[in-house]
Amino acid sequence: MPQRPPLTPLVDSLPATVPFVGPETQERNHGRPFRARLGANENGFGPSPKVVEAMRVAAPDVWKYGDPESHDLRQALSALHGVAPENIVVGEGIDGLLGLIVRQYAEPGTPVVTSLGAYPTFNYHVAGFGARLVTVPYEGDRESLNGLLEAVRREEARIVYLSNPDNPMGTWWEADEIDRFIAALPETTMLVLDEAYCETAPASALPPLEPARPNVLRMRTFSKVYGLAGLRCGYAIGKAEVIRAFDKVRNHFGMTRITQAAALAALNDRAHLEWVVDAVDACRRRLTAIAEAHGLAALPSATNFVTIDCGSDGAFAMRVLEALGKRDVFVRKPMAPGLDRCIRVSVGPEAEIAVFEAELGGALEAAQRVGEW
């Protein structure tokens, strides 16, 4: 049998996997498209028309590499957030930046702390660089700040990951609690504070952007309210010398010209952003009403999705998810014990929410029938 170049022992030991099975894969497996795409926390309301026009104008120049410094975009983000451009690094979505952070601060065997059931892509990067993942159970459907802090101190962790607002539950901590958590962290632990849903959160949940501490990175994205998930653009805000370290490992030509033009246009259309935020809020209330009409409880949400407690255990919630899938409704669910009783439904256009509303009752009945066999 022909030989091949050997993988490193670390890579050879890892399973061939992806953090999420995409809706396109599921559609191919089903042999038909979903009628309601409500599982990936995308912005189904779409980007600003000005973004689409900016992409059209930029398209003829795709023969050129994108500006490796993302200069104009960083200048615009600097003005928006009141921090220096040197405090900002732009990358291929928060997902790409998370991989760079783990690469910078974790070696094989290095302890890294996160919540059990939190964002799987972060865990994927931790495994990919051989670090040791330490998980802390949620507490009352929120990430446990005290539990995370205790684990950081016990393990002498180099990184701790916290999302606020949270995915997959949609819950949040107020800014003063986040500030207390930051103040209590060891200086040698890097906090990755994922704020992907900051635009749909109450202002009281977001500490001021003051990038003075060298052990805090604030993560933001254009994938949610700006509607640019398909372009993969995110950024991190931190102390200047911490941000400069990204230049040692990042893909300097990862941000295309079209992506940079689109993100800049999105920032400049504040009216569209405000419209989307209002639409998200209205849809969250509509999803809550749909859940309650079926005797279910919806968790208060600061994100662009609503987590719905199916009122039983994880097996029942999985049957509900599968029954919705058979009805061409794509949603997702938490998988960690205690959280897995829920499904997670993204906000979206009225036509797709109407499909979910029409199919939820049948999915619940089907899940109940299977459970009674």
Which residues have C-beta within 8 Å of that of residue 11, sequence separation ≥ 6?
128
CATH number for the domain spanning 42: value is: 3.90.1150.10
Arithmetic mean of pLDDT over the chain? 96
Triad 235, 238, 240: Cα angle to 5°: 110
Residues 360, 196, 136, 182, Cα dihedral to 10° = -150
Q: Which of 268, 288, 307 is the last residue of a domain?
A: 268
Distance CA 192, CA 118 (A): 13
CATH number for the domain spanning 191: value is: 3.40.640.10
Query: Does residue 84 sit in the same domain as residue 228?
Result: yes
Helix or strand holding residue 316 (H, E)? helix 314-326
Cis amide leading into 165 (omega within 30): yes
Amino acid at site 335: M
Distance CA 69, CA 12 (A): 35
For 22-62, the DSSP string reads -HHHHHHHHTS--SEE-SS---TT---HHHHHHHHHHGGGT
Question: pLDDT tens digits, residue range 47-101?
Answer: 999 999 999 999 999 999 999 999 999 999 999 999 999 999 999 999 999 999 9
Question: pLDDT tens digits, residue range 158-214?
Answer: 999 999 999 999 999 999 999 999 999 999 999 999 999 999 999 999 999 999 999
Triad 70, 125, 225: Cα angle to 5°: 50
Residue 116 has pLDDT above 80, yes or no: yes
- Give the DSSP letter of residue 249: T
For residues 17 and 330, which has the higher predicted lDDT (pLDDT)? 330
**Average pLDDT of span 33-40:** 96
Q: Quick check: is 1 in a domain?
A: no
Query: Does residue 182 sit in the same domain as residue 281?
Result: no
Query: Does residue 147 sit in the same domain as residue 235?
Result: yes
Query: Does residue 241 sit in the same domain as residue 105?
Result: yes
CB 300 within 8 A of CB 170: yes
Task: Please give the backbone phi and psi of residue 111, each rounded to the nearest 5 degrees, phi first.
Answer: -75, 135
Q: Quick check: is 311 in a domain?
A: yes
Tell me which residue range forms the domain holding 256: 49-268
Q: Quick check: is 320 in a domain?
A: yes
**Average pLDDT of span 332-339:** 96
Burial class (CB in 10 A: 0-12, 13-18, 19+), 65: exposed
| Mode of pairing for the β-strands spanning 111-115 and 132-136 | parallel
* Reported confidence tier of residue 274, pLDDT bands at 50, 70, 90: very high
Q: Quick check: is 14 in a domain?
A: no
CB 342 within 8 A of CB 315: no
The terminus-to-terminus CA distance of the chain in angstroms comes to: 49
* Reported confidence tier of residue 3, pLDDT bands at 50, 70, 90: confident
Query: Does residue 261 sit in the same domain as residue 284?
Result: no
Q: Which percentage of the chain shows pLDDT scores above 70?
A: 99
Query: For residue 31, how far is the Cα from the chain centroid?
Result: 28
Alpha carbons within 13 A on the beta-carbon side of 4 = 4
